[in-house]
Structures are given as C-alpha cells and as structure tokens.
Amino acid sequence: MLPQTEPSLTTLREQYVAAQLAGNRREALRLLVDEGLLRGVPLQVLHLEVIQLAQYEIGRLWQENIISVAQEHLATSISQLALAHLYRHLPRDPENGKVVMVSCVEGELHEMGPRMASDFLEMAGFDVRFLGASVPPEHLARMLREVRPDLLALSVTMTYHLPQLREAVKHAREAVPGVPIAVGGLAFRWAPVLEEDLGVSFFGRDARELVATACRTLGV
C-alpha cells in the first residue's frame, strides 16, 4: 500500500488532470480506482483532493486560455463519469431518516459541486433528492411541497445568480414555511452574501463541511 502522503495525492491529481486533458476516460477511471481506491485512499479524499481540485485546475487553465472551452468540456465530462462510477462504491452510514433536497438556483449550470455534496450527504446517511442544474423557483417550490425535506441546500457558483438565490429562498419559504435552508458554492467564497439579510445559513466551503453542519443542524 502506498502511504497516502500529500505528494502521492498530488501526483495522482496531476496524472488525473493529464488523463482528462488527453480525453482518456479509461485512464482517468483506472487512476481513481486502481491507484486510489484500491490503494486505500478514502473516497472522500479522492472526491475533494483529486476530482474537485482537478476541476479547479481545469478552470485555471481555461481562464488563462491555455486550454479551449472544448477541452474544459472534455475534462469535465470525465469528472462527471468518475462521480457516476464512484457512486456505487460510496461507503454509507446507516440511514438517519432525514431528507435533504439539493439544487442549483435558476440559471446556475455548475452542478458538479452540489452533485458531489449530495454524494457526501448520502454517505452520511441522509436521504438525498438532487435536482441538478438551473431549477426554476416555482418548480423547486412544487417539489418542496411534495417531498417536504428536512433541509434544503442551494448551490450558487456565479455571483450574478445571487438574485436567483433570493427568489429560490422566497419561493421555498412560501412552499414549506420553516424549512432550514443551507447555501453554499463558490459564489460565497468570492462574495459572501448577507446571510442575515436572506435568513439562510452558509453551510461550509465543501462537501465535508456541508455534512458536518447538516448533522449539527438536524441533530444527527
């Protein structure tokens, strides 16, 4: 077994990014499974330190115009495949009976983050309804009335979607008064909103922090 020191994870991440950029899906999955999972790297670490950080690196390369939009799409589709593939290997705590609904606000297309967050919540025993990208507030409200979750988690990456967050919160409050609402996503790193103003709570910077705060808030 490889000792999972920081350097070995860094190497794994670099190799994963190289496989993404080469469009090599098989190699990307081999790295995660054979060099990661089977060598004892915890799944949570693979998610946060390999896939998430690889996505941030892809974003940097794209922003600096080193790679094209097409290469970013190619790379991201590999990470989507990876999350789907790893899903069946998720270690799961016993069910805790709490339902969490996870959704992007309207217009928000960055759904990898909330998808990963949903997987972490599931590992912690939550029953998760993940709605994916860009959910119009009226339809979010309709689903909330049907499902009546114990917690609603809203994801926002682009700061220009903060007005849509406001709308989503308003509709959610009307649909299920009193439902706790968690917010997160990169927008809050770049422009922390007035949580008090919205009456919502920032639940953490990544999937692990979301789980910790959700457990505390819901008393599980």
Q: Give CA torsion, residues 105, 196, 189, 177, to 10 deg.
A: -30
Distance between alpha carbon 106 and the CA centroid of its chain, in Å? 16
Q: How many residues bind ligand B12 (CB under 6 A)?
A: 36
100: which strand partners?
A: 128, 151
27 or 206, CB closer to ligand B12? Answer: 206
β-sheet with 181-184: strand ranges across: 127-130, 99-104, 151-155, 181-184, 201-202
**Closest distance of CB 1 from ligand B12, Å:** 26
Which pair of structure tokens corresponds to residue 213?
A: 């705060």
Q: Do residues 155 and 185 touch, judged by C-beta distance below 8 A?
A: yes
2 or 191, CB closer to ligand B12? Answer: 191
Stretch that binds ligand B12, among 3-11, 92-100, 168-176, 177-185 (CB under 6 A): 177-185
Residue 184 as a binder of ligand B12 (CB under 6 A): the answer is yes
Residue 204 as a binder of ligand B12 (CB under 6 A): the answer is yes
Residue 112 as a binder of ligand B12 (CB under 6 A): the answer is yes
Interaction residues for ligand B12, span 135-154 (CB under 6 A):
153
Residue 103 as a binder of ligand B12 (CB under 6 A): the answer is no
